[in-house]
């Protein structure tokens, strides 16, 4: 089934102080859908003045109302937001699919349900959060209380537009802060459609959205003297800039900067050809989730030498069965890359991977509809691989419509499996495409060494039937999240964040509240006697 595109606005505005407002300079930019590369709406090209207005509105709301609200009121608001989001789940899923290019089955089954759950989780934990009280001696009591920071700035990435906004918004609001958000310029639409739905639940000025480009709107937000914290998800150079700007105002920041996550398969996974091994193969193919545009993309597969040939044969078949196509078709597994420059960049990596001598086991090119009149003479190995990689093979169900399943003008890449060595650039850089690089290891020690031979440490996967390995190996891998016999699960209740150059701080989990709260210590003396110094 192919979903219809919903009617969307011709132009979106900023959201400041509870109102949808034009950018001060009156300028807009065109926003294309990566499905077909065509512009479908306009977005404010905001500048410093819009950011100033948003920070002022947020500060006013914080001072006058929001800081005085009870945790019950805040939790109730988050629950109502979750309910409204859930009631409009399909619409919001469609908007994210159109704006980002990700397949509708992912936005329906993952992005949006996780948004809903995230608001409910933080509605719950803020009610259960307690401060601390200690009697230091019989006359002295120490009370630790949580207080909000004030106005916080949040810069959202484009890979999970609404979910990444929810990851940052829910804890910040639960903790009692007011927020100024700058959505990614590639994917600015879903948060506006969402605000249209939930705006009546949020007091004016508590959430403010300023659209625009990084150097014109993102930088003024990150440098703003009025914010008490800045949160950013993106890459390392901008991460360093954010730290630099935070240092100018002496404020804290949290950074999530990506990785090159190893997905490690020990020989015991092939002890039986059972449900668990099927799960392992899906786990290896998870590099293609969200077109590989995931900070934790398991983009390095490490497989034990003793099973490598058999494992890769099964994996290649699994990858060749992945259907690339129209993201609005609910049978599509891999949709469009989010932007043209992303599409171009991935092609550069496909080229350098081949130049460095990596063997192409699957894919290796952009995805286009197969030529209808391809002659038998030309239809050698490459053409066959192309056909299956785009999902025309398999049971043939996808090949019926003749017009082809891949929309013209969009940014589509074949799921690609490289085999090579860990020092190749395709093993060391986050390609942010559906591209995985496979290498082999002899034993546990080598698996750990290769896993850690990276500048990053965000995610990792470990797959084994050996109970000792499934504890020992994850502990030895330097990464903030190690999935054990699973991958790409993102429950709100599990802490997420990076070691090494993958960032600073955590998202998700109750502990996230600490990134949005001050600690107020009240030290109370019940003694009536002077200390005796003066």
Residues at the site binding other proteins, with contacts judged by CB under 8 A: 29, 45, 157-159, 184-186, 213-216, 218-219, 233-241, 244, 256-259, 293, 295, 339-342, 344-345, 348-349, 351-352, 355-356, 423, 425, 428-432, 455-456, 501-502
- What is the C-alpha separation between 436 and 427, in angstroms, rounded? 8
Nearer to other proteins, 186 or 326 (CB): 186
Nearer to other proteins, 415 or 498 (CB): 498
Write b or e for each residue in 394-430: b if 16 or more Cβ atoms lie within 10 A of its Cβ, otherwise e.
eeeebbeeeebbbbeebbbbbbbbbbbebebebbebb
Nearer to other proteins, 233 or 369 (CB): 233
Nearer to other proteins, 176 or 335 (CB): 335
Cβ 505 vs Cβ 255: under 8 Å: yes
Is residue 440 classed as helix, strand or coil in its secondary structure? strand
Nearer to other proteins, 59 or 233 (CB): 233
Report the nearest approach of other proteins to the CB of residue 295 (Å).
5
Nearer to other proteins, 282 or 356 (CB): 356
Nearer to other proteins, 177 or 186 (CB): 186
What spatial distance separates the first Cα and last Cα of the chain, rounded to whole Å?
83
Residue 248: active-site member: no
Nearer to other proteins, 239 or 262 (CB): 239
Report the nearest approach of other proteins to the CB of residue 249 (Å).
15
- Other CB atoms within 10 A of residue 247 CB: 10
Nearer to other proteins, 341 or 378 (CB): 341
Nearer to other proteins, 52 or 356 (CB): 356
Determine which one of 185, 256, 293, 507 is catalytic: 256
Report the nearest approach of other proteins to the CB of residue 342 (Å).
7
DSSP label at residue 7: P
- What is the C-alpha separation between 98 and 87, in angstroms, rounded? 19
Report the nearest approach of other proteins to the CB of residue 311 (Å).
26
Report the nearest approach of other proteins to the CB of residue 184 (Å).
5
Q: Catalogue the E-assigned strands of 27-98.
A: 28-33, 38-44
- What is the C-alpha separation between 431 and 416, in angstroms, rounded? 11
* Residues constituting the chain: 534
- What is the C-alpha separation between 12 and 10, in angstroms, rounded? 7
Report the nearest approach of other proteins to the CB of residue 352 (Å).
5
Please classify residue 74 by burial: count the beta carbons closer than 10 Å to its beta carbon, then call 0-12 exposed, 13-18 middle and 19+ buried.
Answer: buried
Cβ 330 vs Cβ 340: under 8 Å: no
Is residue 533 classed as helix, strand or coil in its secondary structure? coil
Residue 256: active-site member: yes
Distances (CA, A) of 252 to 242, 247, 319: 10, 8, 42
Report the nearest approach of other proteins to the CB of residue 432 (Å).
7
- Other CB atoms within 10 A of residue 460 CB: 29
Report the nearest approach of other proteins to the CB of residue 190 (Å).
15
- Other CB atoms within 10 A of residue 378 CB: 10
- What is the C-alpha separation between 109 and 302, in angstroms, rounded? 28
Is residue 364 classed as helix, strand or coil in its secondary structure? coil
Report the nearest approach of other proteins to the CB of residue 214 (Å).
4
Torsion of CA 196, 489, 392, 108, to 10 degrees: -20
- What is the C-alpha separation between 526 and 21, in angstroms, rounded? 53
Cβ 156 vs Cβ 181: under 8 Å: yes
* Residue 240 main-chain phi, psi, to 5 deg: -65, -40
The secondary structure element, H or E, covering residue 361 is strand 359-362
Determine which one of 178, 280, 295, 297 is catalytic: 295
Please classify residue 213 by burial: count the beta carbons closer than 10 Å to its beta carbon, then call 0-12 exposed, 13-18 middle and 19+ buried.
Answer: middle
Report the nearest approach of other proteins to the CB of residue 27 (Å).
10
Q: Which residues are catalytic?
A: 256, 295
């Amino acid at each position: 089934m192919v979903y219809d595109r919903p009617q969307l606005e011709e132009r979106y505005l900023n959201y400041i102080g509870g109102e949808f407002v034009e950018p001060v300079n009156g300028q807009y930019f065109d926003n294309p859908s990566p499905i077909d590369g065509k512009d479908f709406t306009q977005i404010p090209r905001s500048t410093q003045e819009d950011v100033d207005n948003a920070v002022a509105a947020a500060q006013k709301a914080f001072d006058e109302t929001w800081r005085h609200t009870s945790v019950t009121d805040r939790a109730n608001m988050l629950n109502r937001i979750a309910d409204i989001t859930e009631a409009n789940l399909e619409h919001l899923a469609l908007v994210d699919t159109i704006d980002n290019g990700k397949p509708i089955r992912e936005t329906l089954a993952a992005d949006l349900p996780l948004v809903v759950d995230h608001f409910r989780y933080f509605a719950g934990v803020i009610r259960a959060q307690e401060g601390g009280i200690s009697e230091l001696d019989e006359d002295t009591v120490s009370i630790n209380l949580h207080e909000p920071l004030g106005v916080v700035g949040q810069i959202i990435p484009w890979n999970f537009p609404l979910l990444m906004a929810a990851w940052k918004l829910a804890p910040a609001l639960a903790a009692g802060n007011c927020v100024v958000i700058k959505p990614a310029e590639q994917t600015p639409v879903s948060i506006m459609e969402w605000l249209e739905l939930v705006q009546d639940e949020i007091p004016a000025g508590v959430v403010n959205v300023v659209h625009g480009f990084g150097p014109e709107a993102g930088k003024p937000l990150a440098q703003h003297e009025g914010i008490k914290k800045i949160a950013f998800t993106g890459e390392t150079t901008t991460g360093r800039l954010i730290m630099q700007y935070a240092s100018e105002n002496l404020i804290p920041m949290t950074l999530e900067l990506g990785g090159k996550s190893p997905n490690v398969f020990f020989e015991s996974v092939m002890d039986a050809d059972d449900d668990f091994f099927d799960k392992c193969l899906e786990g290896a193919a998870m590099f293609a989730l969200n077109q590989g545009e995931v900070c934790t993309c398991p983009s390095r597969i490490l497989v034990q030498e003793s099973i490598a040939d058999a494992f890769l044969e099964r994996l290649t078949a699994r990858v060749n069965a992945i259907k690339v196509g129209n993201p609005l078709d609910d049978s599509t597994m891999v949709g469009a890359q989010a932007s043209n420059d992303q599409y171009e960049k991935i092609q550069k990596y496909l080229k350098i991977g081949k130049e460095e001598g990596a063997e192409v086991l699957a894919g290796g090119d952009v995805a286009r509809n197969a030529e209808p009149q391809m002659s038998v003479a030309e239809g050698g190995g490459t053409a066959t691989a192309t056909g299956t990689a785009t999902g025309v093979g398999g049971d043939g169900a996808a090949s019926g419509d003749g017009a082809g399943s891949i929309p013209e003008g969009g940014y589509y890449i074949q799921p690609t499996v490289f085999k090579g060595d860990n020092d190749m650039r395709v093993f060391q850089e986050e390609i942010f495409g559906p591209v995985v690089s496979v290498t082999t290891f002899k034993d546990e020690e080598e698996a750990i060494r290769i896993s850690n031979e990276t500048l990053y440490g965000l995610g990792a996967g470990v797959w084994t039937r050996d109970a000792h390995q499934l504890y020992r190996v994850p502990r030895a891998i330097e990464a903030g999240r190690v999935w054990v016999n699973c991958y790409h699960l993102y429950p709100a209740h599990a802490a997420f964040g990076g070691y090494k150059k993958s960032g600073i701080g955590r998202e998700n989990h109750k502990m996230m509240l600490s990134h949005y709260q001050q600690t107020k210590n009240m030290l109370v003396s019940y003694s009536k006697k002077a200390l005796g110094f003066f």
